[in-house]
Amino acid sequence: MRFDRTMGAGERLSIAFGLAVLWALLATAAIAQTAVGRERIRIDDNWRFTRGDPAGMTTDLRYDVRPVVERSADGRVADAEPEDAVAVRAGDSRVLKPWILPTANAFIADPAKWHVRPAGDPGSDVAYVQSGFDDSAWTKVTLPHDWAIAGPFIKDGPYGGMGRLKSWGIGWYRKTLDIPARDAGRSIFLDVDGAMSYATVWLNGRLVGGWPYGYNGWRLDLTPHVVPGGRNQLAIRLDNPPESARWYPGGGLYRDVWLVKAAPVHVGHWGSIVRTPKVDKAAAEVTLALTIDNDSDAAATVEVASDLYVLGADGRHTGRPVARIAAARQQVAAKGSARFDGATVIANPRLWGPPPTQQPNRYVAVSSVRVGGRVVDSYETPFGVRDIEFAGPRGVIVNGQPVRLNGVNNHHDLGALGAAFNVRAAERQLEILREMGVNAIRMSHNPPAPELLDLTDRMGFLVIDEVFDSWERKKTPLDFHLIFPDWHEADLRSMLRRDRNHPSIMLWSVGNEVGEQYTGEEGAAIARKLVGIVREEDTRPATSAMNYAKPDMPMPAEMDVININYQGSGIRTLPGQYPAFRAKFPDKVIFESESASALSSRGEYLFPVSGSVSGPVRPGSGGDPVTHHVSAYELHASDFGSSADREFSAIDQNPDVAGEFVWTGFDYLGEPTPYYTSRSSYSGIVDLAGFRKDRFYLYQARWRPDLKFAHILPHWTWPGREGEVTPVHVFSSADEAELFVNGESQGRIKRAPFAYRFRWDFVTYQPGVLQVVTWKEGKPWADASVETVGEASALSATADRSRIAGDGRDLAFVTVDVVDSQRRIAPRAKMPIRFRVEGPGELVATDNGDPTDLTAFPSATRAAFNGKALAIVRARPGGKGPITLVAEADGLAPTRVVVTATGK
């Protein structure tokens, strides 16, 4: 630009302003032109995996220096007091912690506490991170992947607490990313839903970042390291410590991994907040806040508008919007963010609530982000319209209706599938629990896979979302306490932001049985800080499950809701604490966040049978120290727990208690109290294979009192017990019952106050037929019978579904029963069964629910356990047509079942 005269200051300012405006317009136009829209691509296929670091590697790739741990004794009491952390210093070690910590910055509220990344890229010299490394000899895997679940089980040594599977150690994953040249100018992110644990990520030899905690999802910005149109080599190293959990944690990239591509201006990570501050039948107020990120080098004028639709059961929305949030416009600074707030009203809203009295209706907000008049991003936020009130002694009220919490705890493993998350496997668990009458789930003791919360939204379960099992004091030598000081804020905020739009979540839990219960005001100060973070992020209440803290201690006062573990019915020798907590906290909701912890092995009835209602497992009293089974009469529990009957009585005598969460819904890998030579727990109402224990029907009778049924135990096939006392119990919601043995009455019983089963404890066994007749309020209710079964003669197979998707992810669960000539299940059968698959499918795993069975899960041969075995089948990717599972056993007629794969 040439000027023939000298410009004045005002002219110079005017020209400078004009140039700035022109530059902004050009930049805005460039942003709009380069935008292609958001892509979220699951990148679960074609990974390469190996265990261990390269031979001869000298670079230190540890996240931090850890305490030296001698091999601990197994079988530590589950409610033992946590211990102080061991002080460790890094010394001169060049660990990766300074390079990983900046990943947490987005979740640290005070910018003054943000971490500054040092210069350099540690690990860039390691062969496994380099593009030219030949990984063709590595194992080809598809995510989600649990590197330990295939076994073999560790038969010797103290490893029962972690499931007798070697989940600890170092693992590497490599994948070449497809980043075409047209993606130049876009923002590229890696989203990891779960990596167990201490993840470190390199792209094209550059250290990008990582995340230590194995249960949280996290994002890394790959944009500075991507070569559009070139080879982009991703390498992820995991370093899973031993003795890092009290249960089986799994190992590997065990949840989905995503590649997200977006325009420079886009909705930020977990950048939407939907709330429904006012709800009634006539109208619901809906507020939506969106955080818009501008990754470009120039400010942009951004316009955001949202349409709200009804969301169908299939997760899709159709038809016209039911409401709109008007467009809002503001400038977003270069490399900055801005929040857009809007509100609208849905007339005659379809409310979200738990069945059977309510329905889990959902909506979705579809938000459009425009720059220069062009849509550069579209973002969907599913949500539900509901009002949840925590009403003190009146309990939990959803949409004006009191809802008794019929809840269970569940660990994250999926039995024979391990930690590798699978939607269908989780859905099957929820279906079985719903059949029992469950309406609430506590995620113990970690953030779940996001798809699990999608299921609880769709199916209508209330959820307690929990983040930590430990704070600064340790339960195992290398658990989360090692990183709590640096990561608690980031981990808690990341869970809250990821999960806050799920209508199923009613309550946030910041801890479980933490050691800080024992440290008075010092521990309460940490609780206060964590609860404060919850209040900064969300409007739902916060809690922490307490197995030690009493009403007059500092910890409970910090909680919005009182969650107690086992203390309600009395823990060990202490009396029940419900009245004491109610007296101290008259206006707070109180419920048992862990109740019962009853123990049993499905179908294993041990004699003699205790005459008490509840007792600990001991040799000859509920437990067999030789077979390591626990009696299925459902009268025994862990030392700190109680039977279901005793818990029911405590709740019924304290009607202002909002309900319970039973420990546990399903058996889980690890923590096999009281027999730590076993692989899995005994506490489930349903066994590891998904087969219902007798206790299932005890809870069903209580939680579905209108369901007409009667369940008899034990089975009636006892060769060698003729003439011996064999007690008979019946579970039913009836109030009167009469038992018959071969037509001869054993007595008619009226249910006594605070009794939850019918007992005939002096029945003499003789082969034939047991029959029970029941009444309720003087009217016939339900009859049931069991018979003495003949010799096993055949196998019988039943699939849970006749059709599955041919996507390599959907599953069919096939139950194989050992039956006699009249097709009755042989309740003591334990012979080996061989499985094979014909057609476009494959056998994924087998199981039988026996906690003592150390046969590797992928085995095609599995012994029946008390008449049952399970085979899990899937279609090969792209598979279409009939898949036939064949089951065979020596001396028995074989069986086959057909499942049709429908293609992708």
Tell me the catalytic residues: 513, 594
Q: Output the CA–CA distances (angstroms, integers) from residue 207 to 235, 371, 377, in the order listed.
A: 9, 33, 29
DSSP label at residue 347: E
| Residues making up the chain, counted from first to last | 904
Do 252 and 180 touch, CB atoms closer than 8 A?
Answer: no
Per the listing, tokens 């970690």 go with 446
681: its two tokens: 């727990």
Strands 362-371 and 300-311: antiparallel
Per the listing, tokens 């219960």 go with 517
Residue 776's DSSP bridge partners are 779
- Please tell me the chain's helix, strand, coil percentages from 3-state DSSP, rounded to the nearest 5: 15, 35, 45
Burial of 58 (0-12, 13-18, 19+ CB in 10 A): exposed
Q: What is the enclosing helix (H) or strand (E) of 29?
A: helix 9-34
Task: Spell out the long-range contacts of 583-586 with Cβ–Cβ below 8 A and sequence spacing 24 or more.
Answer: 583/551, 584/551, 584/552, 584/556, 585/551, 585/556, 586/392, 586/393
Q: What is the enclosing helix (H) or strand (E) of 24?
A: helix 9-34
In 504-655, alpha helices (H): 521-537, 554-557, 578-584, 644-652
402: its two tokens: 């009191």
166: helix, coil or strand? coil
Residue 216's DSSP bridge partners are none
Of 189, 104, 145, 194, nearest to 450 (Cα)? 194
Cα separation of 894 and 842, whole Å? 19
Name the CA dihedral angle for 427, 145, 71, 98, rounded to a multiple of 10 degrees. Answer: -110
Angle between helices 423-436 and 694-703 (to 10 degrees): 60
188: its two tokens: 């590229």
Strands 405-410 and 440-443: parallel
Q: How many CA atoms lie within 13 A of 890 on its CB side?
A: 6
How many other C-beta atoms lie within 10 A of the C-beta of residue 129? Answer: 28
Give Cβ neighbours of residue 197 (< 8 Å, ≥ 6 apart): 212, 213, 214, 238, 239, 240, 241, 244, 249
Give Cβ neighbours of residue 175 (< 8 Å, ≥ 6 apart): 43, 46, 47, 48, 234
Q: Cα Rg for the chain, rounded, in angstroms?
A: 29
Q: What is the enclosing helix (H) or strand (E) of 788?
A: none
Amino acid making up residue 139: T
Of 81, 159, 212, nearest to 474 (Cα)? 81
Do 347 and 283 touch, CB atoms closer than 8 A?
Answer: yes
Of 414, 145, 413, nearest to 254 (Cα)? 145
Name the CA dihedral angle for 728, 732, 736, 741, rounded to a multiple of 10 degrees. Answer: -30
Residue 409's DSSP bridge partners are 442
Cα separation of 319 and 390, whole Å? 35
